[in-house]
Amino acid sequence: MKRKSIFSTMAVALLLTMSYACKDTFLDTLPTGAGSDVMLANEKGVNMLLIGAYAALDGQINGDDWASWSASVSNWIWGDVASDDATKGSDLNDQNPIVPIENYSVVSSNPYIENKWSFNYAGISRANDVLKIMAKCNPALPDATQTSIKAQVLFIRAYIHFELKRVFNNIPYITEDVNPVKVVNTVDAWPKIETDLKFAVANLPEEQEEVGRPTKYSAEAVLARVYMFQKKWSEAKPLLDDIIASERYSLMQNFDDNFNAANRNNFESVFEIQYSVNDGADGSTNAGWGDALNYPTDVDGTGTCCGFHQPTQNLVNAFQVDANGLPLLSGPVPNLKNDMGILSSDYFLQDTVTTIDPRLDLTVGRRGIPFLDFGIMRGSTWIVDQSNGGPYVNKKNMFLKKDKSTGSTTTGWATGVNSNNYRAVRYAHILLWRAEVAAESSSPDFAYATTLVNMIRTRANNHKLMGRCRTFVLPTQSDLIIDNSVPASNYLVNPYPSNFASLDYARKAIRMEMRLEFAMEGHRHFDLVRWGIAEPVINAYFEQDRAFRSLFGGVSSAVFTVNKNEYWPIPQNQIDLQPGILTQNPKY
């Protein structure tokens, strides 16, 4: 069956975005008026509202509203910057409300805290409006149509609540039949998220005609992840097994096939958030606007902006391997050579001796290494402020130079915005989650866990970046000497030669593989929290990174406080608007 893109109806979503403009709080969303009820209470109108709900999945509500960076579906702030994987980047003062999120000194009045909450609840409001208007249709929509729409809506509603649950933990679960200003946040939301997703699993089709709509397997994947956050291994297992047994998904041949816009919605994609550029929205705000800042600064005249979301030295170090091509799972890991504090016009000889996992240079842009089809990454001239963000740039979200203007926006100032979808769930997730379930179950299956991890590691060996740079002063791209017959660095990655011998070793191997495979994709903080190791890991990172960045030192050194910093404070403005209803999180 030929599949159509859900963005064939994006013009409708743009109109809805205007009519659903979010105020300071989701509670300010205007109620649907009687006139609009009449116009929308039919199948066409309900589907228009449904498209509007889909459009909210990326966290973008108000066109090119800068506040939406806090609600980006990629969770680059909450998943990466608030972890050992990424820095805020840019300079210290640019978007400085992110700084206290990065060093865990945030207060409940922080605007990024407020906007993450309000933008997500505005999306939930859109989903609930679909159900409320559908109930008013006269004549009623056919039962099958109602069930299909409800399944999609409940998936969207559960997905966004899941976003909020991971960030704030104690949240009100807002359904279509409650007064949102009266719902407390002291009732655990997990069961309600599960209930919505179970309905979606039972009623979504195995395949959708329009790309971007969730399937039964998308819902199973998200529900399995919800269970894993609660350590419900036995509940997650059959869902993951069903996805694997369906044989609808497989790993792409090369790891980086997942980060090229030409390969959107591929065989590895279980659920993607669809991005669209040059579709009539100024600045292409349907193309992951929440990540508009997260591109290298003006790479060789591309006009890209603004140097946020930079990989850390700690992350780069994690890609080092031993002589057998296996990760360094224990003991101190040395710093891989870097060009911190060295100008592009200064001599720098990159390390081509240390053995590293090839995924490093497909994830991170570092000096002397080819950067997609832009040529050699030239170091400091690609960085806004090394002293604040470090010497590296993100690579997974960048468009190809040859696709500039066709796959990237031609309007607006944020010209890094492009059509490279956010891969919310990949088949690689399914395999590694299933490996984790196999290891953590009451009757662990270390052999199966090893097999699944090795599938990921074997794929990682398929593509080694070629192009050894022999020029060590890099002010421009001219007069470079590059040997394209030689790998760019000393790459080595191998599968584990024998089955994991213990739960402790299995955990270390699986968790490392999760980090390497999904680095810079917005998952790290949440994984550290669900594994119960956030406090030691983050504090060790702070201690190491103080040598690079003054941000974590100073009079009051950065510290992760256990039983507090796993989650963020409930926005104070919301508590003030609902006195006696919302309760602040512990220790804030």
| CA atoms of 405 and 219, how far apart (whole Å) | 34
Q: What average pLDDT score do residues 558-586 get?
A: 96
Rg (alpha carbons) of the chain, rounded to whole number:
23
Q: What is the pLDDT of residue 132?
A: 97
Q: Lowest mean pLDDT: which of 44-58, 285-299, 550-564?
A: 550-564
Q: How many CB atoms lie within 10 A of CB 331?
A: 6
Q: What is the pLDDT of residue 68?
A: 79
Q: What is the pLDDT of residue 3?
A: 41
Q: What average pLDDT score do residues 160-183 get?
A: 97
User: Percent of the chain at pLDDT above 90?
Assistant: 84
Confidence of residue 556 (pLDDT cuts 50, 70, 90): confident
Q: What is the pLDDT of residue 6?
A: 54
Q: Give all domains of the chain, ordered by start, each with its CATH number.
A: 4-246+566-577 (1.25.40.390), 305-522 (1.25.40.390)
Confidence of residue 272 (pLDDT cuts 50, 70, 90): very high
Q: What average pLDDT score do residues 191-212 get?
A: 97
Question: Strand 86-89 relative to strand 269-273: parallel, antiparallel, unpaired?
Answer: unpaired
Question: Strand 210-211 relative to strand 4-5: parallel, antiparallel, unpaired?
Answer: parallel
Q: What is the pLDDT of residue 474?
A: 93
| CA atoms of 578 and 582, how far apart (whole Å) | 6
- Whole-number average pLDDT of the chain: 91
Beta bridge partners of 269: 426
Q: What is the pLDDT of residue 16?
A: 40
Q: What is the pLDDT of residue 555?
A: 61
Residue that wins the pLDDT comparison between 26 and 151: 151
Q: What average pLDDT score do residues 122-137 get?
A: 97
pLDDT digits (tens, 9 = 90+) for 86-112: 999 999 999 999 999 999 999 999 999
Confidence of residue 570 (pLDDT cuts 50, 70, 90): very high
Q: What average pLDDT score do residues 348-368 get?
A: 97
Q: What average pLDDT score do residues 203-210 get?
A: 96
pLDDT for 373 beyond 70: yes
pLDDT for 325 beyond 50: yes
State pTM to two decimals: 0.93
Confidence of residue 59 (pLDDT cuts 50, 70, 90): confident
Helix (DSSP H) and strand (DSSP E) numbers for the chain: 18, 10
pLDDT for 22 beyond 80: no
User: Taking a C-beta distance cutoff of 8 angstroms, is the pair 509, 318 a contact?
Assistant: no
Q: What average pLDDT score do residues 272-276 get?
A: 94
Q: What is the pLDDT of residue 34?
A: 47
pLDDT for 20 beyond 70: no
User: Percent of the chain at pLDDT above 70?
Assistant: 93
The residue with tokens 């407020």 is 114
Within 8 A by CB and 6+ apart from 273, the residues are: 57, 58, 73, 212, 288, 421, 422, 424
Among 325, 324, 352, 341, which residue's Cα sits nearest to residue 470?
A: 352
- Joined tokens for residue 56: 């909210």
Q: What is the pLDDT of residue 32?
A: 46
pLDDT for 446 beyond 70: yes
Q: What is the pLDDT of residue 281?
A: 86
Confidence of residue 79 (pLDDT cuts 50, 70, 90): very high
pLDDT digits (tens, 9 = 90+) for 487-539: 999 999 999 999 999 999 999 999 999 999 999 999 999 999 999 999 999 99
User: Taking a C-beta distance cutoff of 8 angstroms, is the pair 389, 545 a contact?
Assistant: no
pLDDT for 13 beyond 70: no
Distances (CA, A) of 474 to 466, 468, 529: 18, 14, 41
pLDDT for 33 beyond 50: no
Alpha carbon 320 to chain centroid, angstroms: 23
Confidence of residue 179 (pLDDT cuts 50, 70, 90): very high
Confidence of residue 66 (pLDDT cuts 50, 70, 90): confident
pLDDT for 42 beyond 70: yes
Q: What is the pLDDT of residue 425?
A: 98
Residue 543 has, within 13 A of its CA and on its CB side, a CA count of 7
Confidence of residue 18 (pLDDT cuts 50, 70, 90): very low
Beta bridge partners of 487: 466
Alpha carbon 153 to chain centroid, angstroms: 21
Q: Lowest mean pLDDT: which of 200-214, 296-310, 419-433?
A: 296-310
Confidence of residue 578 (pLDDT cuts 50, 70, 90): very high
Q: What average pLDDT score do residues 262-288 get?
A: 93
Residue that wins the pLDDT comparison between 7 and 340: 340
pLDDT for 31 beyond 90: no
* End-to-end CA gap in the chain: 53
